[in-house]
Amino acid sequence: MIIIQYKSFIKTIAGNLRGSIFALIISFFALINSFGQDITYKYLVGTTAPDPNWKEVNFNDSSWLVGTGSIGYGDGDDSIITDTTPSVYIRYKLTAKKWDLTNLKALLLYADFDDGYIAYLNGKKVLSVNMNDTLTNLTNLTTTIRSHEAELYRNVFRPTQGFYIAANLLDSCNFDTTNILAFEVHNDSINGSDLSFSFKYQFYNDNFYYNYFTYDSRFIQQVPLDSIDIPIIIIETDEYGFNFDTGRTAKMGIINNKFGKYNKLSDAYTDYNGRISLKGRGNRSRDYPKVSFRIELQDSAGNNNNVSIFGMPKENDFILYGPYSDESLIRDEIAFTFGRWLGYYEPRTRFCELIVNGRDVGLYVFTETIKPNKNRVNITKLTSNDNSGVELTGGYIFGYDSGWEPKIFYPSSDNITQEQKDYINGYVKKLDSIIYDKNFMDPYTGYRKYIDIESLADFIIVNEAVYNREAYIQSTYMVKDRDDRNALIKYGPLWDFDNSLGYALYTDIPVKGWRFADPEVTTLQLMRIFQDTGFCHLFARRWHNYRQYAISNDAIFNFINKLVDTLRPAIDRNYEIWPIKGLADYGYHPQNKGKTYDEEITKLNNWLSAHLTWIDENIDKLYVPLVNNKFIKDLNGKTNFAFCYPNPFKDHITLAVALKSSGSIKFEVYDIVGKKLKEVEYSNLCTGENHFRIDMSDIREAGMYIVNVTKDNLPVVSQRVVKIK
């Protein structure tokens, strides 16, 4: 089947969307619905070899059959059903309008296939997938070097990866208004059980619409790999590829010659050669064209296989992180390095080149996962029998990840007992209640009894130094060990910094300002903790000490520049494979990105230098407890003040309260006829500013409601709020 453009439909729908997943769904179903378009092509079933000139523009194909839609056999879903055949040959008359050729940068070609193919444009080879490129005399009996099952008939959700045929290659093919696009499709064996082929194409010119999450923007360029000075990781799956959520068994080999030596595909495997479990990873990033992977090393029987890779301590769980929205490719590494400089364990990493099923997908970062291990997060490992006494008290890894309620990362949901879940959730709730108690600063009974304040201060220092846009509410990890080892909560390890250092999806990152002071940051009660002048002094003192050496400007910028210089050949190669640099991606603040990689690093360095200077100049002002200026202006002599946000709201609402004296408050919600629907009380509050995130998911009907806030049974505020779906 041949699918032509549906760009205008997608642009109309997805251009108004903020949610990446919905845009991807719209894009995917637009692809499905375009399958039946009547596009005519000529084809030859490869029971015999074709004329040697079959792919040339002037070849006489009058004896070839006329086809419409997909072609193949074995799965019962193709428009043209052939007999069992090792190959099929296709000629398609590709016409372009003059405006299509204006400022044409590339032809984007997408194919769904079983098992491999070669594409020619006006007689010249432009693309080869799953074929042995060392062969010069292919015949109709030539087979592919690996199996690949067609995807669309299986309803595979992730759209087919496209290929970028660059303008210089098009010029060498004499690409014009009338062209011949030819394909030879090959099977994995002479009498294979099935064969299938379909394709679509897109002109990439000034009218091209680019968005991370739409089908048309999923393209890479084939770039030959001779040698490279970073390790090469090669992954091979079966013909069904990988399943993003459930995982699939695969094989992985690593070519990692000693430092100073190049790595080639012909070299022997060094660090690993064996079985793995492979699946996707990420929340929002799961929809990016460049997929990140979670891998588990396994022995031949499928058991955990602890191996030392790249000199890292022996383990079996790792991440292959593919930086994509972070077009510097190094934001995570910068933040992790800051944490290491401050003396903490952060996941060990190694940059590498990744090849999956013969497809080079560019620069990746081989990364340790966050898990209990004496060489990673060194805490006591819980068993299902540790349900009472001191054994119940640790160790736990928990935090926040795409939600406002604490999440337990370890023990996993499959292994944690109800007693363990109740313990750590109760511990966090107890800490929250103490932080809002009027005596929360008491050195013996206050919040310091529960948390390692130096760890917290350093965790904030790194996140604020790079202004991590997702800090404290996403990818935020905390650790609690067993009480007889260390009863205090420690903060970290660090994770996920692609929205930092001057760039984030959907929003600007300011040079001036504290991330922890953003009103949406209510998970760790940091604004409350910064009302403790003792913590403010500790925080500022540690910042000044670190700035003298560990994170001085010289240390930081020498490291960044050296890292870029070391990786530069692999970085340049990555942007050949992923030709996205400088594209104005819809809705993602492209003004914060550099049009070239050099400009990207210049922007990052300039932002970081200015932001560090701002912190240097303002950190001592934290000696005074932080109170939002809005409260100060709105109090106007009143005893107390409160308001709710956001308004309208969906599932949660934040109550912000400024008190001029200690006491208790009550939050009540009424419908428009006066029926009370919800009541929450907070007691023993001290003076100053307080934020409470309140679950409103039990109020299910959209509409207007009345919120009443009282302090010690005296009215503070009555506010109308609107619930939306």
Q: What is the pLDDT of residue 685?
A: 76
pLDDT in tens, 711-720: 888 888 888 8
Q: What is the pLDDT of residue 92?
A: 97
Q: What is the pLDDT of residue 635?
A: 43
Answer whether residue 724 shows pLDDT above 50: yes
Q: What is the pLDDT of residue 10?
A: 35
Q: What is the pLDDT of residue 403?
A: 67
At residue 635's C-alpha, the angle toward residues 631 and 637, to 5°, is 150
Report, as an integer, the average pLDDT of 54-60: 97
Measured CA to CA, the distance from residue 285 to residue 292 in angstroms comes to 8
In this structure, are residues 711 and 659 in contact, taking their beta carbons and an 8 Å threshold?
Answer: yes
pLDDT in tens, 364-410: 999 999 999 999 999 999 999 999 999 999 999 999 987 678 899 99
Q: What is the pLDDT of residue 682?
A: 86
pLDDT in tens, 208-241: 888 877 777 889 999 999 999 999 999 999 999 8
In this structure, are residues 535 and 527 in contact, taking their beta carbons and an 8 Å threshold?
Answer: no
Could you tell me which of 248, 217, 318 has the C-alpha nearest to residue 580?
Answer: 217
Query: Half-sphere exposure of 536 toward its Cβ, with a 13 Å CA cutoff?
Result: 16
What dihedral do alpha carbons 490, 522, 470, 608 form, nearest 10°? -90
Whether the CA torsion 265, 266, 267, 269 is positive or negative: it is positive
**Where do the structural domains in the chain lie, given as residue ranges?**
2-220, 232-368, 389-623, 629-723
Q: What is the pLDDT of residue 333?
A: 98
Most confident range, picked from 105-119, 498-512, 627-641: 105-119
pLDDT in tens, 444-464: 899 999 999 999 999 999 999
Least confident of 74-78, 116-120, 122-126: 74-78
Could you tell me which of 80, 61, 64 has the C-alpha nearest to residue 72?
Answer: 80
Q: What tokens does 425 get? A: 């959730």
In this structure, are residues 85 and 207 in contact, taking their beta carbons and an 8 Å threshold?
Answer: no
Answer whether residue 304 shows pLDDT above 80: yes
Q: Does 2.60.120.260 match the CATH number of domain 2-220?
A: yes
In this structure, are residues 526 and 464 in contact, taking their beta carbons and an 8 Å threshold?
Answer: no
Q: What is the pLDDT of residue 582?
A: 78
pLDDT classification of 282: cutoffs 50, 70, 90:
confident
Percent of the chain with pLDDT over 70: 90
Whether the CA torsion 391, 395, 401, 405 is positive or negative: it is positive
Q: Does 1.10.3720.10 match the CATH number of domain 629-723?
A: no
Q: How far is CA 307 from CA 204, 278, 294, 297, 303, in A?
A: 45, 16, 16, 8, 12
Answer whether residue 35 shows pLDDT above 60: no
**Ramachandran bin of 288, using left for φ above 0, alpha for ψ from -120 to 50, beta for the remaining angles:** beta
pLDDT in tens, 182-215: 999 999 999 999 999 999 999 999 888 888 777 7
Q: Which residues are registered as beta bridge partners of 80?
A: 71
At residue 444, the 3 state secondary structure works out as coil
DSSP state of 427: H
Report, as an integer, the average pLDDT of 592-599: 87
Could you tell me which of 244, 327, 323 has the C-alpha nearest to residue 286?
Answer: 244
- 43 vs 537 pLDDT, higher one: 43
Q: What is the pLDDT of residue 155?
A: 62
pLDDT in tens, 647-668: 788 888 888 787 777 788 899 9
pTM of the model: 0.85
Q: What is the pLDDT of residue 2?
A: 33
Q: What tokens does 367 get? A: 């990364």
- 409 vs 436 pLDDT, higher one: 409
Pairing status of strand 80-81 against strand 71-73:
parallel
At residue 234, the 3 state secondary structure works out as strand
Measured CA to CA, the distance from residue 180 to residue 198 in angstroms comes to 16
Q: What is the pLDDT of residue 227?
A: 96
